[in-house]
Chains A and B, each alone.
Chain A
Amino acid sequence: MRQISTLEYLSMSKARRAWFKFSSFILNIPRAIGRWFRNLPHKFGAFFGKIGGWFAGLFDALRYGNWKTRMSALILGFGCFAYHQIGRGLLYLLYEIIFVLFMVFFGAKYIAKLGTLGDVAQVRDPDTDLVLIEGDNSFSILLYSMLTIAVIVFTLIIWVKSIKDAYNNQLGYSIAQRAASAKDDVGQLLNHKFHLTILAFPSLTLVVFTIVPLMFMILVAFTNYNRNTIPPANLFTWVGFDNFAAVLTGQAKGLSGAQDASRWSYTFWRILGWTMEWAVLATFTNLFLGMIVALIINKKSIKLKKFWRTCLVTVVAVPQFVSLLLVSKMLNNAGIFNSILFSLGLPTVDWLHESASLAKFMIVVVNLWVGVPHTVLTCTGILMNIPDDLYEAAKIDGANPVKMFSKITLPYMMFVLGPSLITTFVGNINNFNLIFLLTGGSTGIADSRLATQAGDLDLLITWLYKLTVNGQQYDVASVIGILIFIVVAFFSLIVYSRIGSVKNEEDFQ
């Protein structure tokens, strides 16, 4: 980007200044991303440095600790018993016993087969269809391996903690002759360690129902798990990057899907294009119309503000499956809109099924109907928050309403709404409800170039949904999921590298 001096900038006309700001923002995006990636090694360095520091404490404890401390590495809680912390010691010991039992009877047999995802196929008697040999279940092996890995990581943390506890006890014993009692421990959990108490249950559900499933599904993208290989009757196995190659470039060797790989890639790029187009259109139309409506409702001389707002807010309150299903039936060929057109003597239109471009236009319009009230609510809150003295000062200086709007209202609103734009944008990329409930993801016009389960109105998220629920193409669905993540992360990265609010959270105080 061209560097210019302050004087040069000030001598520009207003339009050129605005253009300059805009173009420098756009031109800076690659640079910001580049900077983020250049900083990545530092970030990783800091991360591993922290982990290294954590282990260094462990080695210190093992090196300088006495035999009681070292014994804790084998028998968890030994160092606590030795210093009369019976309660804490018992908990450690109990955890160790449970962990060993868990590994012996559950974890070990799954981890051992993770490399192949099972090699003994199920055998059934061809005549009676009874199961003769149970065989390996690839799904259980992969899933429970992930669960076991999560447990092992947690155990590692507990193990290091127990050794450090023992070492601290040893050090404290020589100074103060007393280690923290069970009562102290409980008190700490409500005070300085309150975060442990309150984050324990949410973290557990997060690990079991979000992190483990996600790890599982990310790994499924590297297997051939689809409707032809459903366990327990069949085995699935690792295929490396074949699925990614099929979806991105259309070239794949080992993909066992029923159709050729080029259809996957054609469908993916087409749906990605429409997803982006939709997200941009939906976000900006919503923002502009929402701001205009909010401004006219909040105009000082307008009465019945609450009434107008309530009219709009009804859409927010009614569940989307009711409002969107209703609108989709109203837009039907025999729906009420066409009835009105017909009775007026006008030609009827099959809004959502006639052509893809008309259906896309209608989707954006219906999205305005659903989304504008949200924007109006937010904008109303912002408008009420603009300090009145700004306007009074402007009035004294002789500013006209247009000037006040462009110099106070608009910058203020954009300042607050700017960061939330990206949230809306990402929300629109993943807007399942609108596309699925309104159109089912397709106009119904057959297109042989599209892969299974994909329709011409599908977003990536609805295609993912259909691939999972109807198509049982889990391998491709996982690839799509990971690609959605990459798209969303890309846009979030732009914003987080440009705004500092994430970094300077202490500034508000």
Chain B
Amino acid sequence: MKYLKTSKKSAKGAIIDSFIYLLLAIISIIWVFPFVYLILCSLRGESGGMVTYLWPKQITFDNFIYLFKGDFLTWYLNTLIIAIVVSIINTLITLLTAYALSRMRFNGRQALMKFMLILGMFPGFLGMICIYYLLNAMGMINSSLSIVGLMLVYVSGTMMGYYVSKGFFDTISRSLDEAAMIDGASRAKIFFSIILPLSKPIIIQTLLGAFVGPWGDYMMANYIVGRGGTDFKTAAIGLYQMVDTLPEISENFTQFCAGGVVVSLLPIIMFFFMQRFYVAGVTGGSVKG
């Protein structure tokens, strides 16, 4: 009797599970399909924007070759340099700000936090006209310095994104600091040799976020470099302008797809290897379980 009951139950469970597998398969297909389409289009030999079939009749790498013969390599390198520099600087700024606000007690700390909270509620794009003018005055528009100008734009507001890291630092026991302080360590030493080694998930999450932000940004970059010379563009701007109008779509669509594949490659690899830390980091700051 007992055996019968369990086998009946597991049979029911198996049916539910197979339904779930079916559902998951459908969901995965929906989520992955556009990227399969992207890759197929990037390999398509026939020109012309939209075609009525999925599988290309002729598979070539011509789109990639054509793309790299043009300006794409410059755009890609521009984006890469900006993203690397910005992610390193921003991670440092975010972590140091979070550390100062989490561990040190100084005059005006509460006021600073409230001030940044209010500041963060303004749309970031609002100040752009002004920033453009300032960068122009410094000779950073439409010149070889425009990459530096764009970096400055991305670095400027970073301090306000300290919340998650501060939440993480708040959970690291303060008795560690106190013990180190009794042994004569300075605040700087405590941060670099005690707190940082304990904060691997949050460092990786911040690095990743700070890298992906400039890597895929369109709004800010378009205002700073969108109307400038083709040598100063980033990949996002260059690729967007390739398919901006209808005749351009029919001419450049396959190359746009090739560019999309190349641009997506690096973030996908990074996410794939850092997913574990990313999941831990997203919730690490908020869960005190």
A381 proximal to B (CB < 8 A):
yes
Q: Is there contact, CB below 8 Å, between A377 and B240?
A: no
Q: Is there contact, CB below 8 Å, between A310 and B275?
A: yes
Give a binary string over B118-158; 1 marks a CB under 8 Å from any A CB, 0 the rest.
11011101111111011000000000000000001101111
Contact with A474, one of B28, B129, B160 (Cβ below 8 angstroms): B129
Q: Is there contact, CB below 8 Å, between B236 and A209?
A: no
B66 proximal to A (CB < 8 A):
no
Q: Is there contact, CB below 8 Å, between A315 and B31?
A: yes
Task: Give min CB distance, A319 to chain B, whole Å.
Answer: 3
Q: Which residue of B lies closest to A318 (CB)?
A: B264
Contacts of B204 in A (CB 8 A): none
Contact with B130, one of A47, A191, A216 (Cβ below 8 angstroms): A216
Q: Is there contact, CB below 8 Å, between A210 and B127?
A: yes
Q: Which residue of B lies closest to A201 (CB)?
A: B93
Q: Is there contact, CB below 8 Å, between B212 and A319?
A: yes
Contact with A336, one of B50, B130, B249 (Cβ below 8 angstroms): B50
Known A314-B31, A319-B236; judge A210-B157 contact (CB<8 A).
yes
Measured CA separation A314–B37 after assembly (Å): 14
Q: Which of A315, A381, A464 has the most CB of B within 10 A?
A: A381
Q: Which of B123, B134, B223, B268 has the most CB of A within 10 A?
A: B123
Q: Which residue of B lies closest to A419 (CB)?
A: B286
CB within 8 Å of A: which B196-228 residues? 212, 215-216, 218-219, 222-223
Q: Which residue of B lies closest to A206 (CB)?
A: B159
Contacts of A209 in B (CB 8 A): 127, 131, 134, 152-153, 155-157
Contacts of A481 in B (CB 8 A): 122-123, 125-126
Measured CA separation A433–B213 after assembly (Å): 12
CB within 8 Å of B: which A3-42 residues? none
Measured CA separation A373–B32 after assembly (Å): 12
Task: Give min CB distance, B164 to chain A, whole Å.
Answer: 10
B77 proximal to A (CB < 8 A):
no
Measured CA separation A336–B40 after assembly (Å): 12
B3 proximal to A (CB < 8 A):
no
Looking at B57-65, B68-76, B277-285, the stretch in contact with chain A turns out to be: B277-285
Q: Which of A213, A342, A382, A420 has the most CB of B within 10 A?
A: A213
A128 proximal to B (CB < 8 A):
no
Number of interface residues of B (CB under 8 A): 96
Known A316-B271, A381-B287, A432-B219; judge A327-B279 contact (CB<8 A).
no
Measured CA separation A302–B27 after assembly (Å): 15
Give a binary string over A319-331; 1 marks a CB under 8 Å from any B CB, 0 the rest.
1111101110110
Contact with A416, one of B212, B249, B287 (Cβ below 8 angstroms): B287
Measured CA separation A326–B264 after assembly (Å): 12
A398 proximal to B (CB < 8 A):
no
> What is the interface of chain B mostly: helix, strand, loop, or mixed?
helix
Contacts of A205 in B (CB 8 A): 152, 155-156, 158-159
Q: Is there contact, CB below 8 Å, between B219 and A416?
A: no
Measured CA separation A488–B126 after assembly (Å): 14
Contacts of B287 in A (CB 8 A): 381-382, 385, 416
Contact with B31, one of A212, A312, A380, A464 (Cβ below 8 angstroms): A312
B54 proximal to A (CB < 8 A):
yes
B253 proximal to A (CB < 8 A):
yes
Q: Which residue of A lies closest to B267 (CB)?
A: A317
Q: Which residue of A lies closest to B13 (CB)?
A: A301
Contacts of B53 in A (CB 8 A): 339
CB within 8 Å of B: which A464-509 residues? 464-465, 468-469, 474, 477-478, 481, 484-485, 488-489, 492, 505, 508-509
Q: Is there contact, CB below 8 Å, between A213 and B127?
A: yes
A183 proximal to B (CB < 8 A):
no
Give a binary string over B58-101; 1 marks a CB under 8 Å from any A CB, 0 the rest.
00000000000000000000000000000000000100110110
Contact with B127, one of A216, A385, A436, A509 (Cβ below 8 angstroms): A216
Contact with A461, one of B28, B125, B157, B236 (Cβ below 8 angstroms): B125
Measured CA separation A212–B223 after assembly (Å): 19
Measured CA separation A308–B21 after assembly (Å): 10
Contacts of A158 in B (CB 8 A): none
A311 proximal to B (CB < 8 A):
yes
Contacts of A508 in B (CB 8 A): 170-171, 288
Looking at A82-90, A249-257, A277-285, A291-299, the stretch in contact with chain B turns out to be: A291-299
Q: Is there contact, CB below 8 Å, between B52 and A343?
A: yes
Contacts of B122 in A (CB 8 A): 214, 481, 484-485
Measured CA separation A213–B130 after assembly (Å): 5
Q: Is there contact, CB below 8 Å, between A214 and B126?
A: yes
Q: Is there contact, CB below 8 Å, between B17 and A302?
A: yes
Contacts of A308 in B (CB 8 A): 24, 27-28
Q: Is there contact, CB below 8 Å, between A416 and B286?
A: yes
Task: Give min CB distance, B18 to chain A, whole Å.
Answer: 11
CB within 8 Å of B: which A429-458 residues? 430, 432-433, 436-437
Q: Is there contact, CB below 8 Å, between B249 and A329?
A: yes
Contacts of A433 in B (CB 8 A): 218-219
B20 proximal to A (CB < 8 A):
yes
Task: Give min CB distance, B61 to chain A, whole Å.
Answer: 19
Contact with B283, one of A187, A199, A343, A378 (Cβ below 8 angstroms): A378
Contacts of B35 in A (CB 8 A): 314, 318, 323
Give a binary string over B153-176; 1 marks a CB under 8 Å from any A CB, 0 the rest.
101111110000000001101100
Where the two chains meet, the residues of A that have a C-beta atom closer than 8 Å to any C-beta of B are 47, 139, 143, 187, 190-192, 194-195, 197-199, 201-203, 205-206, 208-214, 216-217, 293, 296-297, 299, 301-302, 308-323, 325-327, 329-330, 332, 334-336, 339, 342-343, 369, 373, 377-378, 380-382, 384-387, 416, 419-420, 426, 430, 432-433, 436-437, 461, 464-465, 468-469, 474, 477-478, 481, 484-485, 488-489, 492, 505, 508-509
A-B interface, 5 closest residue pairs, ranked by CB to CB distance from nearest: A213-B127, A319-B216, A209-B156, A381-B283, A213-B130
A-B contact pairs, 5 of them (CB 8 A): A209-B152, A213-B131, A378-B283, A416-B286, A492-B117
